[in-house]
Amino acid sequence: MKKKINIGLFGYGCVGQGFYKVLQQSPNTNAVITKIVVKDKSKSRDLPVQQFYYQPSDILLDNNIDTVVELIDDANAAYDIVKSALKLGKNVVSANKKLIAEHLDELIELANTQQVTFLYEASVCASIPIIRNIEDYFKSDHIQGFQGICNGTTNYILSRTAQGLTYDKALSEAQELGFAESDPTLDVDGFDAKYKLAILLKHVFGVSAKPEDIFNCGIRHIKPAHVNFADNYEGKLKLYSYAKQVEDKVIGFVAPFVVPLSHPNYNVENEFNAVNINAKFAHEQLFQGRGAGSVPTASAVLSDVQAFQTGYKYDYSSTKYNDNTFTNDFYLKIVLSAHDESSLDAIKFEHTAYSEVEGKLAFKVGWVYFRNLIKVDFNSRSNMFFAVISEDFKLRLSEVEHAVGEALV
Ligand SMILES: NC(=O)c1ccc[n+]([C@@H]2O[C@H](COP(=O)([O-])OP(=O)(O)OC[C@H]3O[C@@H](n4cnc5c(N)ncnc54)[C@H](OP(=O)(O)O)[C@@H]3O)[C@@H](O)[C@H]2O)c1
C-alpha cells in the first residue's frame, strides 16, 4: 500500500477545481485534500464552506499536512507559500511558471537542504509530460535543441491569422473562447512562453537563465502581409520558445519563426502546445497536447502527487554533466518588416539577401547579429515585425560570410 499523502491545496480556481475533481476520480492515488486555502471569503464555492481557509498558516503550520499543492494566480504570494512550505519540510507541487522561472535555483537548493521534493510538471505546457521525459527518458541521450509551441493563446491567434483573420479579430475570438485573458500582454508579447523556456533551459541544458536575460518578442504586430510572406516560403508563423546548443554555447529566446511545411510543428494548430525535441540518438520527437485548461493541467499536478509516492525527484543531471554557457552572441537569418523602408535601418544587417516593398510594407531578409536585434523592443514598436527564417545559427561572422558564399555558388 502506497503511503497516504495529506494535501494542503492553495487556490481553488480553474486548475485547483480541476485538481480536486481528478483526485476524486483517481482511486489509485492514496491522497486526500485536507484543507483548501483561497483568498476571497465572499465567493460562493461548490464545496462546503468548512473546507476553505484564508490564511497560508492554516496549511503551512498544520503538521498533518505533508504536501502542498500550490495553484494560485499570484506569483509573489506563491513564492512566499512555496518557500515557507519547503522550509517547513513539506513536499511541494506548483504550476506557477513565473514563480519557478524567477526563483528555480533558490528553490532547488532549499528543497535539497530540507530533503523534500519540489515538482512542477504543469508549469510547462500543462498536460504534456515534458519535464519528466527530459529528466528521465532523455537522461542518457543528448538533447541538442528544441522548438516549443508553449503558449496556446498565441498559437490559436496564429492559426486563425493563417486562415485569413486579422490579429484583432483572432484575439477577440480567443478571448471569447476563454483561451486569452482580457489583458493578453503576457501571452501575446511572449512572456508566458519565456517563463516556460527558462524552465526547459534548466532541465535540458543545465542553464540557469533569468527571465530578464532571455529575449522575448511576441506576435502583437502581425499583419496579413507577414502571413503571406511565410506562405511564400511554404511555411507558417509559430511563436517558438526556442533553444539550441551551438558548440559549447546555448542560445535561447522567444520569437516568431517561419516554420516550414516539412517540420512536425507545422501542423500544431489552435490552442494546442507542442515541444519538438532534437536528441542525438532518438533524433526528433514531437510531444503535443493541451497546454492549458482545468482538467488537462490538473492531470500533470496529479501525476506529480503520485510521483511523491514512489519517492521521485528531479535529478537535474544536465546541470551536473554539462558546462554550457548561455549566450546572446550569435548571428541568425531573419525577415524584418516595417511600415517604411527607413525604419529597416534600425537594425544593422551583416548580409542582406534581398529587400523589397510589398504593398504598404518594406521587407528585408538577411543575417543579423542577435545582440543588435534585441536592442529593439519589438513588442512596443507597432510599425515593425520580424521572424526567424532559418535554424542555422552562427557564432562567428566569418561563418556567416562562408554560409553566404556557399549559398551563392
Ligand atoms: N489555467 C490554466 O490552464 C493553467 C495552465 C497551466 C498553469 N496554470 C497555472 O496555475 C496557477 C493557477 O491558475 P488558475 O488558472 O487556476 O487561476 P485562477 O482560476 O485565477 O484561480 C486562482 C486561485 O488562486 C486563489 N488565490 C489568489 N491569490 C491567493 C492568495 N494570495 N492566497 C490564497 N489563494 C489565492 C484564488 O482565490 P479566490 O478563489 O478566493 O479568488 C483562486 O482560487 C497559475 O500559476 C497558472 O499560471 C494555469
Q: What is the pLDDT of residue 72?
A: 98
Whether ligand 1 lies within 6 angstroms of the CB of 142 is answered as no
Residue 74 forms part of a structural domain: yes
Whether ligand 1 lies within 6 angstroms of the CB of 45 is answered as no
If you search the block for the grid coordinates 507541487, which residue do you land on?
93
Q: What is the pLDDT of residue 126?
A: 97
Q: How many domains does the chain have?
A: 2
Residues 298 and 408 in one domain: no
Residues 303 and 338 in one domain: no
Q: Look at residues 297, 308, 305 and name the one whose alpha carbon lies nearest to residue 18.
A: 297
Q: Which atom of ligand 1 is nearest to the CA of 123?
A: 7
Q: Which amino acid is at 401?
A: E
Whether ligand 1 lies within 6 angstroms of the CB of 43 is answered as yes
Residues 9 and 119 in one domain: yes
Whether ligand 1 lies within 6 angstroms of the CB of 181 is answered as no
Q: Output the nine-digit C-alpha cell for 15.
A: 486548475
Helix axes 97-114, 191-205, angle to 10 degrees: 30
Residues 98 and 66 in one domain: yes
The CATH number of residue 354's host domain is 3.30.70
Report residue 346: phi and psi, to 5°. Answer: -60, -25
Residues 300 and 390 in one domain: no
Q: Which of 35, 97, 98, 196 is catalytic?
A: 196
Residue 171 forms part of a structural domain: no
Q: Which atom of ligand 1 is nearest to the CA of 37?
A: 33
The CATH number of residue 317's host domain is 3.40.50.720
Which residue CA neighbors atom 27 of ligand 1 most closely? Answer: 72
Choose the final residue of a domain: 303, 321, 339: 321
43 C-alpha to center of ligand 1: Å?
14
Residue 15's SS3 state is helix
Q: How far apart are CA 139 and CA 141, in angstroms?
A: 6
Ranges in the chain, pLDDT < 70: 1, 409
Residue 262's SS3 state is coil
Q: Which amino acid is at 148?
A: G
Residues 316 and 336 in one domain: no
Residues 311 and 344 in one domain: no
Q: Which atom of ligand 1 is nearest to the CA of 77?
A: 31
396 C-alpha to center of ligand 1: Å?
45
Tell me the CA distances in angstroms from 118 to 17, 257, 311, one per residue in order.
Answer: 21, 33, 11
b/e sequence 373-394, b meaning 16+ C-beta within 10 Å: bbebebbebeebbbbbbebebb
Q: Output the nine-digit C-alpha cell for 65.
A: 499536512
Q: What is the pLDDT of residue 289?
A: 98
Q: What is the pLDDT of residue 102?
A: 98
Residues 313 and 363 in one domain: no
Choose the final residue of a domain: 273, 304, 321: 321
13 C-alpha to center of ligand 1: Å?
5
Residues 314 and 395 in one domain: no
The H or E element that residue 52 is part of is strand 52-53
Residue 408 forms part of a structural domain: yes
Whether ligand 1 lies within 6 angstroms of the CB of 298 is answered as no
Residues 382 and 306 in one domain: no
Query: Is the Cβ–Cβ distance between 199 and 244 less than 8 Å?
Result: no
- Other C-beta atoms within 10 Å of 53: how many? 17
Q: How does strand 331-338 pair with strand 349-358?
A: unpaired
61 C-alpha to center of ligand 1: Å?
22
Residue 240 forms part of a structural domain: no
15 C-alpha to center of ligand 1: Å?
7
| pLDDT tens per residue, range 6-54 | 999 999 999 999 999 999 999 889 999 999 999 999 999 999 999 999 9
Q: Which residues contact 75 (CB under 8 A, 6 or more apart)?
A: 96, 98, 99, 102
Q: How far apart are CA 90 and CA 87, in angstroms?
A: 7
Tell me the CA distances in angstroms from 183 to 153, 175, 298, 384, one per residue in order.
Answer: 12, 9, 24, 21
| pLDDT tens per residue, range 296-334 | 999 999 999 999 999 999 999 988 777 889 999 999 999
Choose the final residue of a domain: 281, 301, 321: 321
Residue 278 forms part of a structural domain: no
92 C-alpha to center of ligand 1: Å?
16
Residue 42 forms part of a structural domain: yes
CA angle 333, 206, 124 (to 5 degrees): 75
Whether ligand 1 lies within 6 angstroms of the CB of 119 is answered as no
196 catalytic? Reply is yes
Residues 53 and 111 in one domain: yes
Whether ligand 1 lies within 6 angstroms of the CB of 38 is answered as yes
Residues 22 and 66 in one domain: yes
Q: Which domain holds residue 74?
A: 5-127+293-321
Query: Is the Cβ–Cβ distance between 221 and 237 less than 8 Å?
Result: no
Q: Output the nine-digit C-alpha cell for 220.
A: 502583437
Q: What is the pLDDT of residue 55?
A: 98
Residue 284 forms part of a structural domain: no
Report residue 75: phi and psi, to 5°. Answer: -65, -35
Residue 375 forms part of a structural domain: yes
